[in-house]
Structure 1
């Protein structure tokens, strides 16, 4: 049996076809564009996700039609928190406001002020990137659009609507909306009322391992797939990444994609909203996660490479030629604000410590270190929540760089594992969820840990040297905040 996993990312749609022995038989990605119509704003057109999927599947249909025709189930993963606002005909009312958009900061602050107890039920205080504050913003700033709203979906669930015609979400993605009661695994009537949304405007909820609907026959015929094959509930991208590397009840990992997450699964719901840790439902029934969410991950490296106009691979090679250990230049990576540990939508990026002798390799090293220092802040928050770690896995596009993984190991003082195929995490995890939903196999039996590719051991002398730079990094953020 073959299974298709689709991951609706911010920078690209990724797709894999996996067999029941977990061999990846096909993989592809299609880039996506991002619109920034103003400071702190971030949007995408929902139909661009559909077009990207069609591009990939049409290409596969031409090149290997038998493979597509043999697919028995589809799983979905996607960027979380985006507000896909639909009209009565299920068409988007406007571009989707994304997870890294800060326009709803005032509305998030108002929700926290007026409903302080909800954070313990919803897993975290309201933050600007979440879906609920955006609906309040829409009512105040675009009332004509808000009046036409009939349904709210999350990004991957808009793709589901296209595939199946069903309005459905699942627990792990819904967890990031600030509308889900995490312990009850159901919409919170209090949170819906606080943001002026009705249950009738919300999708039906299922678990990630359940079937949400069947593939529409007309679409199946056009794309070379079997009609009616099951589409699984799927997962938010971080949780799908966890399924991809077998992190269900244990197995902490760092996800180094466009954004970043430090992720620890559990069989208990243990919220700690005071530290801005996200305690959310996992994509597996009866499981939850603690997650430090960072708005700036590998996107910082892509931004810096774009500024200097050179390929990332060449820049990383130049950094590798530098002496190991901390550089003189510090970089605040808050190009899109930050969540854990600051919940500060207005935080900005900053280079400090440059001289006339500073070259591009030193700047790129500072970017790598700045993102690593953000993960150090996340690790501190997890430790304060009682989660002590000695090792973790690394997944996501940034995990392709052994240099960056070693630097992270040195900064964090953690043993870091890379798994084979770890950079495909969310799409691969989505395919695993498709298999569970289609075959009825328990996800725990499917979602085993992949083979280890390599291990980065922390170098104690560098961990000690980086400790002083982490302290300077934290002081730099305080200085940036005071200067606004």
Structure 2
């Protein structure tokens, strides 16, 4: 068997698969995010360990874990987990959707070497500007920092005792020479850090160390069970979906929204705000368009109207023409294509006739317009996407996928029932670390394809234009 652990923003998930890649068991534990100030987003790393312990205990109660031959890790990217020389956490982890370091990000991005070497804009959510913020505002913490770890790599430190990362996650730090797949000494020096502050690097499909004997005994695993490098959440999802080659792509509707497409080679295009990162398997890269609020926008609206997202989407009978109500989903800024940490959301066009259902449709459509901007940005780099495979919790809503297909004017394919997300991809990477076979990431069978509604193409194109015009006006007010 093989185990995948996925450290998500809202929870940690564990998934066991057998040698035929069939799911044997799964478990989950919830996590919470704290927002002590506007634009801040943090988690306590100790909570990750408690969640992982709970998940492992659940799995141990369901299966004999002594048969596990490899473990893979996935996690939310960009988080700054700061460790002192004794291995203690110095402060809460600053998460991917935290925008406090927007001024520091702009200053680093103005240094041409960052885009030239990392292949990306320095976004406020990336790790390097967070460290610049800590140096400016919490100098004692910065001075005490011995290691900077990404979230899943802190989990790895606990599991193995080794400070190690891998290329797909490291590419989102702004410190990686993405083409060379190695830390850049020059970029580290620009934030007053060095290679000594960074974890070692391995490929996502390679072993990063073995499971500590104490934890192995607690859960019934073999001591020294190899822990794969793993992947950032989107790269791990791509491994789970079998999206590893040019021409393939997936659309993720999670807390954030992602259009993910592998590329034939390293193909940076920072001027488009498209992310150009390493994939989780060797000699492979990918591009991503990323929006910060996808299901998060529907969760927010649900809290506003006192309903769960499933209730909101379940009340809709099918895709319709867009109404007057228009939502902008910039609840915590935006990445592709705007790179705008200060922008915030808005509802306009509200009238007496606006119902809860109309508001739900406006939120779902807004996520579609934001993803259309990302898809257009990918196209501007020369990356063509002819079909998207649906992933993420929001893909459970057929009406949302119908709306997205019609806005994007791109077919959306639905995998057969099952879990092909980041935890599954992490388990596959654990299998690769055990077997050495990186060809194991095959696409799932598809059971249906949602085609665009051609009759709604013009209406959604007009509404998308209104959305873009409103963004421009809102930007001037934010």
Residue 477 of structure 1 corresponds to which residue in structure 2?
471
Residue 146 in 1 paired to residue 137 in 2? no
- Measured in 2, the distance between the counterparts of 1:269 and 1:59 equals 41
Residue 305 of structure 2 corresponds to which residue in structure 1?
308
Once the two structures are superposed, the pairs formed by residues 445-460 of structure 1 within 5 Å of their partners are 446-460=440-454
Deviation at 1:50, TM superposition (A): 1.1
Once the two structures are superposed, the pairs formed by residues 393-432 of structure 1 within 5 Å of their partners are 393-420=389-416, 424-432=420-428
Q: Are 2:252 and 2:258, in contact at CA under 8 Å, matched by a contact in 1?
A: yes
Deviation at 1:289, TM superposition (A): 0.5
- Measured in 1, the distance between the counterparts of 2:450 and 2:418 equals 15
Q: Normalised by the size of structure 1, how large is the TM-score?
A: 0.96
Residue 40 of structure 2 corresponds to which residue in structure 1?
41
- Measured in 2, the distance between the counterparts of 1:361 and 1:32 equals 30
- Measured in 2, the distance between the counterparts of 1:319 and 1:214 equals 49
Distance 1:435 1:423, change over 3 A: closer
- Measured in 1, the distance between the counterparts of 2:58 and 2:427 equals 19
Residue 188 of structure 2 corresponds to which residue in structure 1?
192
Once the two structures are superposed, the pairs formed by residues 457-472 of structure 1 within 5 Å of their partners are 457-472=451-466
Q: Give deviations 1:77-104, integer Å, cap 9, x for gaps.
A: 0000000000111111000000100111
Q: Are 2:27 and 2:59, in contact at CA under 8 Å, matched by a contact in 1?
A: no
Q: Give deviations 1:87-122, integer Å, cap 9, x for gaps.
A: 111111000000100111111111122x12320320
Deviation at 1:227, TM superposition (A): 1.3
Q: Are 2:390 and 2:413, in contact at CA under 8 Å, matched by a contact in 1?
A: yes
Question: Alignment partner of 1:190: what SS?
Answer: helix
Deviation at 1:65, TM superposition (A): 4.1
Once the two structures are superposed, the pairs formed by residues 32-181 of structure 1 within 5 Å of their partners are 32-62=31-61, 64-66=62-64, 68-113=65-110, 115-181=111-177
Q: Which moved more, 1:37-46 or 1:298-307?
A: 298-307
Residue 245 of structure 2 corresponds to which residue in structure 1?
249
Q: Give deviations 1:248-271, integer Å, cap 9, x for gaps.
A: 113111111111111110230111
Question: Alignment partner of 2:2: what SS?
Answer: strand
Q: Which moved more, 1:7-16 or 1:158-167?
A: 7-16
Residue 23 of structure 1 corresponds to which residue in structure 2?
22
Residue 281 in 1 paired to residue 278 in 2? yes
Q: Which moved more, 1:229-238 or 1:454-463?
A: 454-463
- Measured in 1, the distance between the counterparts of 2:56 and 2:352 equals 50
Which of 255, 264, 269 pairs up with 1:267? 264
Question: Alignment partner of 1:75: what SS?
Answer: strand
Gaps of 5+ in 2: none
Root mean square deviation of aligned Cα = 1.2
- Measured in 1, the distance between the counterparts of 2:28 and 2:348 equals 36
Distance 1:351 1:157, change over 3 A: same
- Measured in 2, the distance between the counterparts of 1:246 and 1:460 equals 29
Residue 375 of structure 2 corresponds to which residue in structure 1?
379
- Measured in 1, the distance between the counterparts of 2:240 and 2:308 equals 28
Q: Are 1:394 and 1:422, in contact at CA under 8 Å, matched by a contact in 2?
A: no
Residue 236 in 1 paired to residue 236 in 2? no
Q: Are 1:214 and 1:231, in contact at CA under 8 Å, matched by a contact in 2?
A: yes
Question: Alignment partner of 1:125: what SS?
Answer: coil
Q: Normalised by the size of structure 2, how large is the TM-score?
A: 0.98
- Measured in 1, the distance between the counterparts of 2:138 and 2:419 equals 39
Q: Are 1:281 and 1:287, in contact at CA under 8 Å, matched by a contact in 2?
A: yes
Question: Alignment partner of 1:85: what SS?
Answer: strand
- Measured in 1, the distance between the counterparts of 2:420 and 2:95 equals 22
Gaps of 5+ in 1: none
